[in-house]
Amino acid sequence: MFRLVTGIPGPSGFGSASTAEQVTDGIDASNITAIVTGGASGIGFETARVLALRKAHVIIAARNIEAANEAKQNILNENATARVDVLKLDLSSIKSVEAFADDFNALNLPLNILINNAGVMFCPYQLSQDGIEMQFATNHLGHFHLTNLLLDKMKQTAKSTGIEGRIVNLSSIAHHHTYEGGIKFGNLNDKNSYSDKKAYGQSKLANILHANELSRRLQEEGANITVNSVHPGLIMTNLMRHSALLMKALQFFTYIMWKNVPQGAATTCFVALNPKLKGVTGKYFVDCNEFATSKLARDKALAKGLWDFSNKLVNSAQMI
């Protein structure tokens, strides 16, 4: 907490006051291709902008193509040599996730970095078109399926280039505040027990468990790909549109704990690009430093159970 408030750097040399540009200063990513989900706005846009600034080829994956194209143009206005493409992706739809993967593969590009950034937060109870609770569907399941669909491409790229692949899941400190047992395997869609805050926490816990289990699997097969999760910090973005008044009131009383967008994208960019993290996998980062998760997030059996549960949900959605 002291470091969060003061901005004093941690062991990595960076801290809560560091920006995405600062943590990637001097890094040449010209041989990198990266996908950023939700890269049209907020910290996703800042992440895409800074990766492009470091010469990476960035694919912005977004539900709103108009906003994504505007984001691309804003990046090009600042950096005329930037390499940015836009592809449509609605993470709440399994069919859209599969269409995105097909569209990306059709570009015949390598893939070094996948940043699972997009999400929804504190939304009222609703089901996705696949019949899955919306926050779980968007924040976890869509990214789970997307990652699996792109994994072979990442393995091929890492093998042919010798460049370590990196997957970054955006989680949250909210993973501490979830339902009893962590994941509602038996009644995921139950409306009566739905809590917008706990459902969000559940999805963010799922992001960490997914990263940990995938990291374990990739290590077992010797793949040159790391998988880590991050908490970006408290940032006022469109993600909070469903609880704007509550968040503004909270921000008023806890203003010293909040970050701006460049600071909010710092941990993501650090984990995605910084050479200090070569070989580091299955970790959780806050303010560009390794941080302890909740006990549930460290539960290997829960992670394995979530993996199997997620596969079953994807298979069911494919049959609709």
The DSSP call for residue 92 is: T
In a domain, 24, yes or no: yes
In a domain, 121, yes or no: yes
Structural tokens at position 284: 């959780």
The amino acid at residue 177 is: H
d(CA 91, CA 315) in angstroms, rounded, equals 16
In a domain, 241, yes or no: yes
Show pLDDT as tens, one digit a residue, over the chain (320 residues). 445 444 688 999 999 999 999 999 999 999 999 999 999 999 999 999 999 999 999 999 999 999 999 999 999 999 999 999 999 999 999 999 999 999 999 999 999 999 999 999 999 999 999 999 999 999 999 999 999 999 999 999 999 999 999 999 999 999 999 999 999 999 999 999 999 999 999 999 999 999 999 999 999 999 999 999 999 987 755 544 444 555 454 444 444 456 899 999 999 999 999 999 999 999 999 999 999 999 999 999 999 999 999 999 999 999 87
CATH of the domain at 104: 3.40.50.720
Residue 174's pLDDT is what? 96
Structural tokens at position 39: 């890269």
Task: Please count the structural domains in the chain.
Answer: 1
In a domain, 319, yes or no: no
Active site residues: 194
In a domain, 320, yes or no: no
* Alpha helices (runs of H) in the chain, residue ranges in sequence order: 2-6, 20-23, 42-53, 65-78, 94-106, 134-135, 142-161, 196-221, 244-253, 261-264, 266-273, 300-318
Which residues form the domain of 300?
2-314
d(CA 242, CA 113) in angstroms, rounded, equals 30
Residue 245's pLDDT is what? 55
Residue 243's pLDDT is what? 47
